[in-house]
A = this chain, B = another copy of it.
Amino acid sequence: MAERASESEMQVLGALWDDSPQTASELTSRVGAANGWTQATVKTLLARLVQKGAVTTEADGRRYLYRPAIARADTVADESQRFVDRLFGGRVSPLIAHLAEREALTDTDIAEIEALLRKLKS
A59 interface residue per 8 A CB criterion: no
A71 interface residue per 8 A CB criterion: no
Would A112 and B86 count as touching, CB distance under 8 A? Answer: no
How far apart sit A102 and B86, CA to CA, in the bound complex (Å)? Answer: 18
For A, the interface residue count at a CB cutoff of 8 angstroms equals: 39
| Distance to closest chain B CB from A77 (angstroms) | 5
A81 interface residue per 8 A CB criterion: yes
How far apart sit A88 and B97, CA to CA, in the bound complex (Å)? Answer: 18
Would A80 and B93 count as touching, CB distance under 8 A? Answer: no
| Distance to closest chain B CB from A19 (angstroms) | 13
Task: State which of A40-48, A61-69, A114-122 sits at the interface with chain B.
Answer: A114-122
A30 interface residue per 8 A CB criterion: no
Q: 5 extra interchain contacts, Cβ-Cβ under 8 A, other than A11-B86, A77-B102, A93-B109?
A: A93-B108, A93-B116, A97-B112, A100-B117, A114-B117
Which residues of A line the B interface, CB within 8 A? Answer: 7, 10-11, 14, 73, 75-77, 79-81, 83-84, 86-88, 91-93, 95-102, 104-105, 108-110, 112-114, 116-117, 120-121
